[in-house]
């Protein structure tokens, strides 16, 4: 597919220092050209909670949907500058010979209560546990205003600058089906995120970050988790072909509208293949159909990502092997069962190291493999991690009436200022272990860049605290897995 140049656009940036004209010409390798002309200016059934009347114009206006890049704004040192920025598409990423080093931008275009608990707590309604109920149990105008403010502020261009500055080359951007502007039934979900999504894609490209655009929530819910948009014990995506067809229509629109702005399109996050054979069969049909839709809509340049549906990568041996530019997404956490939580710190490291052969044997005969979600967390202590109103297995509050207590949550999550020096040293070791294993294959995408109050999950805070290096090549344990 032809990789069109982005049109020139006027961006408003507030930069750290005063600039004159800056011109960086493209070299023979075709890398991004940036031209900057800067002008300095000195000068589930519950009652709906009663919501305050929304303040008129309280929410920021969404970025304009135009063929040019949207306007962006930064404020640094109180100075405002205007920048004329033009750039070409990033050159294709070499997945065969380079390693993906990325972060997820969780909780932005599909909210999760544990990432931004304040968004849910400010509703004053404990029945609001996901984006479905966020729109269902509130005045829609009020809910829309809250989300517009969230989309405009939870991530800003400064985040993209920081991500690039710490050696990352990819972002994985989770989005929801109801955010894609097509004629579809979106139920109680609040729409309107698409202009902000387009802005995020432009920011990523401007700062040298390749995008994995991840469809994270599908009609009927593909897993019943709050991160699909709807927390439910009875997800129905796989049981109704109409839901699969609607999801394919969303993918078709994504391919047509932004297939030339992203490096990878992930067809759907975390299909719950563990439920029964019908879910397994639906996943297999969907991956092939989704692959065909994206190729028809976006051509052959964009890469396509599928997932293991919680079945293990070798359950997919030979699948889509003949496809063009396909990769497998594997998510690795060691915290969502008591057996995993009982592991000692050294056991967590050993368990990860012991997966090297599993990873490399898959990629040697199948697809590229990227560890697309993982974190430094070794407990499930982050508030609302298991769902709003649900406690943690670690401290025994997960089970109503009490359960096995494995430890205290104090000093294990929240602010890193409460972490012991031993704990921070272990987090560095654990980060290096997981990176080392993932880079035996095609790389990794950490979950997540930031969270309101869970620094054990935050890449940003990990760098700030020193248990994640500013340069991923810096290793204190270079031979951790032998």
Distance CA 60, CA 57 (A): 7
Q: Which of 112, 157, 270, 432 is catalytic?
A: 270
Going from the C-alpha of 201 to that of each of 8, 36, 106, 327, 381, the distances in angstroms are 15, 19, 15, 21, 32
112 classed as catalytic: no
Beta bridge partners of 81: 13, 40
Residues of the chain with pLDDT under 50: 1-57, 66-87
pLDDT value, residue 453: 98
User: Which residues in 139-162 are b (16+ Cβ under 10 Å) and which e?
Assistant: beebbbbbbbebbbebbbbebbbb
Q: What phi and psi values does residue 443 have, to the nearest 5 degrees?
A: 125, -160
**Would you state the pLDDT for residue 439?**
98
Tokens in use for 319?
A: 């699948």
* pLDDT at position 59: 62
Q: How distant, in Å, are the alpha carbons of 102, 188, 321, 322, 466 from that of 325?
A: 19, 36, 10, 9, 36
Q: Considering the entire predicted model, what is its pTM? A: 0.85
Instruction: Choose the catalytic residue: 112, 131, 266, 373.
Output: 373
Q: What is the pLDDT of residues 440-477, one digit of tens each?
A: 999 999 999 999 999 999 999 999 999 999 999 999 99
pLDDT for the residue 41: 32
Give the full edge-to-edge strand order of the sheet including 34-41. Answer: 9-13, 80-86, 34-41, 22-24
Upper half-sphere CA count for residue 342 (Cβ side, 13 Å): 5
Pick from 378, 363, 391: which is nearest to 332 by CA? 378
Element of type H or E holding 148: helix 140-153
* Residue 451 near residue 410 (C-beta atoms within 8 A): no
Q: Looking at residue 400, what is its pLDDT?
A: 78
> What are the DSSP calls for 78-134, one per residue?
TBEEEEEEE-PPPPPP-TTTS-EEEEE-TTSSS--TTT-HHHHHTTT-TT--SHHHH
pLDDT at position 482 is: 85
- Does the active-site annotation cover 270? yes
DSSP for 155-201, please give it. S-HHHHHHHHHTT--EEEEEEEGGGS-SS---TT-----HHHHHHHH
What distance in Å separates the CA atoms of residue 116 and residue 383, rounded to the nearest whole number? 10
Structure token digits, residue 467: 């248990």
């Amino acid at each position: 597919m032809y990789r069109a140049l982005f049109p020139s656009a006027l961006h408003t940036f507030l930069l750290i220092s005063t600039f004159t004209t800056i011109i960086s010409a493209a070299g023979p390798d075709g890398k991004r050209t940036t031209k900057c002309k800067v002008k300095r200016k000195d000068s589930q059934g519950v009652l709906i909670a009663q919501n305050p009347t929304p303040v008129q114009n309280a929410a920021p206006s969404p970025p304009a949907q135009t063929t040019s890049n949207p306007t962006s704004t930064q404020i640094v040192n109180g100075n405002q500058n205007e920048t004329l920025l033009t750039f070409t598409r990033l050159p294709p990423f070499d997945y065969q010979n380079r390693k993906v080093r990325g972060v997820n931008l969780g909780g932005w275009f599909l909210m999760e209560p544990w990432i931004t608990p304040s968004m849910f707590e400010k509703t004053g309604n404990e029945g609001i546990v996901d984006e479905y109920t966020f729109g269902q149990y509130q005045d829609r105008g009020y809910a829309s205003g809250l989300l517009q403010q969230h989309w405009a502020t939870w991530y800003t261009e400064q985040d993209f600058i920081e991500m690039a500055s710490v050696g990352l080359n990819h972002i994985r951007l989770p989005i929801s089906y109801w955010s894609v502007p097509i004629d579809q039934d979106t139920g109680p979900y609040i729409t309107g995120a698409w202009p902000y999504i387009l802005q995020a894609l432009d920011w990523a490209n401007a700062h040298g970050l390749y995008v994995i655009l991840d469809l994270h929530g599908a009609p009927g819910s593909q897993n019943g988790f709050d991160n699909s948009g709807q927390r439910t014990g009875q997800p129905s995506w796989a049981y109704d072909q109409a839901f699969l067809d609607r999801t394919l229509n969303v993918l078709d629109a994504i391919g047509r509208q932004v297939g030339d702005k992203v490096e990878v399109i992930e067809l759907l996050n975390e299909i719950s293949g563990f439920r029964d054979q019908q879910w397994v069969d639906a996943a297999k049909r969907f991956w092939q159909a989704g692959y065909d839709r994206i190729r028809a809509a976006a051509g052959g340049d964009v890469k396509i990502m599928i997932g293991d549906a919680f079945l293990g990568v070798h359950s997919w041996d030979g699948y889509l092997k003949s496809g063009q530019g396909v990769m497998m997404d594997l998510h690795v956490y060691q915290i969502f069962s008591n057996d995993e939580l009982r592991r000692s710190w050294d056991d967590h490291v050993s368990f990860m190291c012991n997966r090297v052969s599993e990873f490399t044997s898959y990629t040697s005969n199948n697809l590229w493999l990227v560890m697309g979600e993982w974190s430094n967390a070794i407990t499930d202590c982050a508030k609302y991690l298991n769902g709003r109103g649900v406690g943690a297995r670690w401290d025994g509050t997960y089970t109503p009436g009490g359960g096995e207590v494995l430890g205290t949550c104090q000093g294990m999550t929240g602010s890193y200022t409460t972490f012991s020096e031993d704990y921070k040293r272990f987090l560095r070791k654990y980060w290096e272990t997981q990176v080392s294993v993932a880079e035996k294959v095609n790389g990794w995408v950490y979950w997540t860049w930031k969270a309101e109050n869970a620094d054990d999950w935050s890449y940003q805070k990990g760098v700030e605290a020193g248990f994640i290096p500013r340069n991923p090549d810096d290793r204190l344990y270079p031979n951790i897995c032998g």
